[in-house]
Amino acid sequence: MYYPRAIDDAWRKAAEQFPVLLLTGPRQVGKTTFLQHTAERGRRYVTLDDPGIRALAVQDPALFLERFEPPVLIDEIQYAPQLLPYIKMAADSRRKTGLFWLTGSQQFHVMKGVSETLAGRVAIVNLLGFSSRERHRLRLDVAPFLPTRQRLKEREGSHASSSLKHVYRDIWLGGFPALTAGPVKDRDLFYSSYLQTYLQRDVKDLTQVGDEAAFLRFLKACAARTGNLLNLSDLARDADISVNTAKSWLSILRGSMQVFLLSPYHTNVTKRLVKAPKLYFLDTGLCSYLTDWSSPETLESGAMSGAVLETYVVSEVLKSWWHRGQSPEVYYYRDKDRKEIDLIFLQNRTLYPLEVKKSASPGPDWAAFFNPLGKLKMKVGEAGVVCLSKDLLPLGENVNAIPVGWL
């Protein structure tokens, strides 16, 4: 059964404007399924996972494009960056939109070549696993998430359950389509197989990892720190590697879209760059598997329950933007008194703060979470606290308790 994706509108609009489109995302999030479902009749499909086809693309890219003429969908373009100059020449000579649809599982390799070779000719769109709205087959034609009444009104009447049981089941299972829409029933077997594929293909292809066991220790150490400030020295110590290796391996996790680093908000951009970011896994199911939580119930009652709920909210927020073809300007806030706000959206020179709280009992005192922003000399818009309440509730002027299922 095909589950519609929120990215559909953004992709179709991009296809009307650009000759080349690139869909990036981790392995097995449904990139190929989405594009094959979306493709018009006559668009050929070719995958560079096939060793013979890959060899042709690498050794004779001109002949490859003669054999597979546009409109064409080329899967896993990172295996043959030699194609990119020839795609550029074909796009320039034909002067049509939507000629080449490309997918890539490794931003680390793909993005540099694409940005340098296809500048001005390519639209780049990110796809992660199912969002809550996609998983539960809710309305997808809603604007990206902001904690404003206008954006929340669009979600009224079309939202998932915010009950503790349902939310942590979704968190524990994760967003990979095979576990929701596919035939896979054994969650642990899926993630075990996924990790083997990731370690043996994506990681080895990046040629910076010689010790798979050490990299897996590093991956687990990152998962245990989701929702926390990044400390490379601690990560390196736990994985028994050098700090420079930890830094290099973290770039691999970012490049293969396994983790996201959230920068701190500061009115001084230079200081913003030097302060520590927060680390988030982009799939909570993989994160839960790596940290050995055997069921949704043990995860919810365990030491990571708050951090993994925050991770889930951040991931859902990013999906709401990326799957609509947009990128949010989003940060976290932490001051010298250690007052912290989980997310701050910066839109039109206005800050929209968002806090995450594992509670089903909102109170007016929650509005005080956002008082520290008064020091910033910036306009502060509507704010929200994402929680486990059943209903959208006002907490004060311009502050609402937002059920997590409304994301």
Q: Give domain status of residue 234, yes or no.
A: yes
* Structure letter (DSSP) for residue 18: -
Same domain flag for 142 and 103: no
Same domain flag for 51 and 192: no
Same domain flag for 70 and 160: no
Same domain flag for 236 and 367: yes
Closest alpha carbon to 124 in 111, 113, 112 = 111
Same domain flag for 188 and 79: no
Same domain flag for 242 and 308: yes
Instruction: Look over the chain and give the mean of its residue pLDDT values, rounded to a whole number.
Output: 91
Domain that holds residue 119: 8-126
Same domain flag for 242 and 188: yes
Given this model, what pLDDT does residue 321 score? 97
- Residue 399, classed as helix, strand or coil, is strand
Give, in degrees to the nearest 5, the angle at Cα 117 between 114 and 120.
85
* Cα 36 to Cα 40: distance, rounded to the nearest angstrom: 9
- Residue 183's pLDDT band, with cuts at 50, 70 and 90, is confident
Mean pLDDT of 185-193: 94
Residue 154 has pLDDT above 80, yes or no: yes
| Full DSSP string of 74-130 | EE-GGG-GGGHHHHHHHHHHH--SS-EEEEES-HHHHHHHHHHHSTTTEEEEE--S-
CA 278 to chain centre: 15
Supply the CATH number for residue 60's domain.
3.40.50.300
**Residue 332 parent element (H or E):** strand 330-334
Closest alpha carbon to 402 in 374, 369, 362 = 362
Integer angstrom CA distances of residue 383 from 89, 293, 343, 373, 406: 48, 32, 10, 11, 15
Bond preceding residue 26 cis, omega within 30 of 0:
no
Largest Cα separation within the chain, whole Å, is 67
Given this model, what pLDDT does residue 214 score? 86
Given this model, what pLDDT does residue 90 score? 94
Give how many domains the chain has, as a whole number.
2
* Cα 283 to Cα 262: distance, rounded to the nearest angstrom: 15
- Examine the fold and report which residue of 70, 92, 126 is the final residue of a domain before the chain moves on: 126
Mean pLDDT of 330-358: 93
Q: Give domain status of residue 319, yes or no.
A: yes
Amino acid at 128: L
Same domain flag for 104 and 171: no
277-306 tens-digit pLDDT: 999 999 999 999 999 999 999 999 999 999
Per the CB < 8 A criterion, the answer to whether 286 and 258 are in contact is yes
- Examine the fold and report which residue of 73, 99, 126 is the final residue of a domain before the chain moves on: 126
CA 120 to chain centre: 24
Residue 141 has pLDDT above 70, yes or no: yes
**Residue 184 parent element (H or E):** none
Same domain flag for 108 and 247: no
Residue 144 has pLDDT above 90, yes or no: yes
Beta strands 228-229; 278-281: pairing state: antiparallel
Q: Is 239 exposed, middle or buried (0-12, 13-18, 19+ CB in 10 A)?
A: buried
Q: Is 238 exposed, middle or buried (0-12, 13-18, 19+ CB in 10 A)?
A: middle
* Cα 343 to Cα 327: distance, rounded to the nearest angstrom: 15
Given this model, what pLDDT does residue 270 score? 52
**Residue 14 parent element (H or E):** helix 8-15
Same domain flag for 110 and 159: no
Given this model, what pLDDT does residue 200 score? 72
pTM here?
0.93
* Cα 185 to Cα 332: distance, rounded to the nearest angstrom: 36
Mean pLDDT of 165-174: 97
Per the CB < 8 A criterion, the answer to whether 146 and 394 are in contact is no
HEC readout, 263-329: CECCCCHHHHHHCCCEEEECCHHHHHHHCCCCCHHHHHHCCCHHHHHHHHHHHHHHHHHHCCCCCCC
Same domain flag for 118 and 139: no
Per the CB < 8 A criterion, the answer to whether 352 and 148 are in contact is yes
First to last CA, the chain: 24
Same domain flag for 23 and 112: yes
Closest alpha carbon to 139 in 151, 125, 124 = 151
- Examine the fold and report which residue of 88, 109, 126 is the final residue of a domain before the chain moves on: 126
Per the CB < 8 A criterion, the answer to whether 335 and 375 are in contact is yes
Per the CB < 8 A criterion, the answer to whether 34 and 41 are in contact is no
Token pair listed for 225: 């720190």
218-276 tens-digit pLDDT: 999 999 999 999 999 999 999 999 999 999 899 889 988 999 999 999 876 556 545 89
- Residue 390, classed as helix, strand or coil, is coil
Integer angstrom CA distances of residue 110 from 78, 106, 380: 5, 6, 38
Q: Give domain status of residue 1, yes or no.
A: no
